[in-house]
C-alpha cells in the first residue's frame, strides 16, 4: 500500500503500451459473441494472460475451460489469442462445436511457416518457452518435426539429423535481444538454416520492449503493469533489468509497494500487451493525488488493426 506521501515527482508514461491489436481483437471477439449469441459462451483457456480481463469477461458470461471435452456438444467455443494445434480443430469437429477463432494473426503466421517448412522436409526449431500456450499450439502444427529451444545453451546443444534441412521460427512474445542471441547461435551452427522473411516477434512486443529501454534511461524506477503468467510482461521487466534499470512487474496499484519506489523521483510506467489501460490510469491517479506530474514519452505510433474473426456459424 502506498504511503500518503512519496518521493515521486514525475511519472514518465510510455506510448505505445497496453493492449495490442491481437489482444484487443480477442477480447472484442468474446464480447461480440456474448452480445450476438448470449450465454453460455465457452473459451478454451485464458483468452489473454491478464486476470482482470478474465474476471471481467467471466462476469459478462464467458466460461473458461481447459479442454474441449468440458464444452457441451454443439455449443460455441472461442479459441484464444495464443492459438491451438490442428488436433484441437479435429476435436472440435468431432464434438460439433461452433468455433470462433480468435488466434492472433501473427501467431497464425508462425503456424503457417511451421507447416510450410515441415512440408519441405525440414526439421523445425521453435525458439520459445516450454509450457506457454502459444508454444503448445505451434509444436502441435507438425508433431515430431518441431524441436523447442529456449536458451543459447540449448541452441548450442541441439542435434539435427539433417543439418542441410533445418528451419527456425520464434514465439511471438519473446525478448528481442534474447531471441537475437539464440538465432545467431543457430545460424552459426547450421549455415543452411532457413528463417522467415519477416521477424516472428510481434510488433507490439518489439515496441513495448523498445519503450522500456527508453524508460530506463530517464527513470529512477520502471513499473510494468502485467500479470506474472504473461510472457511479454515478464520479458519487458527482463529487458529493463538487463539495461541496468530498477524494474518491477505489478498486476495493479495494489501490488505497488513503498520499497519499490523508495527514493525515486522519476517513475517510468508502461503496460504489457495484455493489460487494460484502466490499470495504468489507476496507478497514475494514485501518484497524481500525491503530487506527481505526468509526462508522455512517445516512442512509436501504432496503427495496426485486425478485423474481428468470423462468426461461428459461417
Which residues participate in catalysis according to the annotation?
134
DSSP 194: B
Q: How far apart are the first and last CA of the chain?
A: 50
List, in order, residues 6 or more apart from 215 with CB less than 8 Å away: 12, 14, 222, 240, 245, 268, 269, 270, 297
Residue 272 · residue 208 · CB < 8 Å: yes
Cα(63)–Cα(268) distance, integer angstroms: 36
State phi, psi for 177 to the nearest 5 degrees: -65, -45
Which SS3 state, helix, strand or coil, does residue 168 take?
strand
Question: What does each C-alpha distance from 53 to 23, 28, 133, 276, 296 come to in angstroms?
Answer: 10, 11, 17, 7, 25
Cα(183)–Cα(151) distance, integer angstroms: 10
Grid cell 457441451 in the structure block, residue: 72
CA-nearest of 213, 211, 199 to 171 is 199
Amino acid at each position: 500500500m502506498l504511503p500518503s506521501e512519496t518521493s515521486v515527482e514525475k511519472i514518465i508514461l510510455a506510448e505505445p503500451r497496453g493492449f495490442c491489436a491481437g489482444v484487443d481483437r480477442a477480447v472484442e471477439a468474446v464480447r461480440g459473441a456474448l452480445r450476438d449469441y448470449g450465454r453460455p459462451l465457452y473459451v478454451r483457456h485464458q483468452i489473454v494472460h491478464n486476470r482482470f480481463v478474465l474476471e471481467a469477461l467471466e462476469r459478462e458470461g464467458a466460461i473458461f475451460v481447459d479442454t474441449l471435452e468440458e464444452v457441451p456438444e454443439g455449443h460455441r467455443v472461442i479459441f484464444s489469442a495464443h492459438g491451438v494445434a490442428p488436433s484441437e480443430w479435429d476435436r472440435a469437429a468431432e464434438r460439433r462445436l461452433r468455433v470462433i477463432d480468435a488466434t492472433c494473426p501473427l501467431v497464425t503466421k508462425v503456424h503457417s511457416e511451421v507447416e510450410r517448412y515441415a512440408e519441405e522436409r525440414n526439421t523445425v526449431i521453435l525458439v520459445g518457452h516450454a509450457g506457454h500456450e502459444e508454444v503448445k499450439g505451434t509444436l502441435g502444427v507438425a508433431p515430431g518435426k518441431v524441436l523447442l529451444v529456449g536458451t543459447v545453451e540449448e541452441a548450442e546443444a541441439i542435434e539435427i539429423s539433417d543439418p542441410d534441412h533445418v528451419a527456425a521460427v520464434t514465439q511471438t512474445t519473446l525478448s528481442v535481444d534474447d531471441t537475437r542471441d539464440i538465432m545467431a547461435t543457430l545460424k552459426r551452427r547450421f549455415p543452411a538454416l532457413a528463417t522467415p522473411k519477416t521477424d516472428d516477434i510481434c510488433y507490439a512486443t518489439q515496441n513495448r520492449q523498445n519503450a522500456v529501454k527508453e524508460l530506463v534511461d530517464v527513470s529512477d524506477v520502471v513499473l510494468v503493469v502485467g500479470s506474472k503468467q504473461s510472457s511479454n510482461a515478464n520479458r519487458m521487466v527482463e529487458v529493463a533489468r538487463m539495461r541496468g534499470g530498477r524494474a518491477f512487474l505489478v498486476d495493479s496499484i495494489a501490488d505497488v509497494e513503498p520499497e519499490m519506489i523508495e527514493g525515486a523521483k522519476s517513475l517510468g510506467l508502461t503496460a504489457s500487451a495484455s493489460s487494460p489501460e484502466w490499470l495504468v490510469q489507476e496507478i497514475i491517479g494514485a501518484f497524481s493525488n500525491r503530487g506527481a506530474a505526468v509526462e508522455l514519452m512517445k516512442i512509436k505510433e501504432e496503427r495496426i488493426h485486425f478485423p474481428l474473426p468470423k462468426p461461428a456459424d459461417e
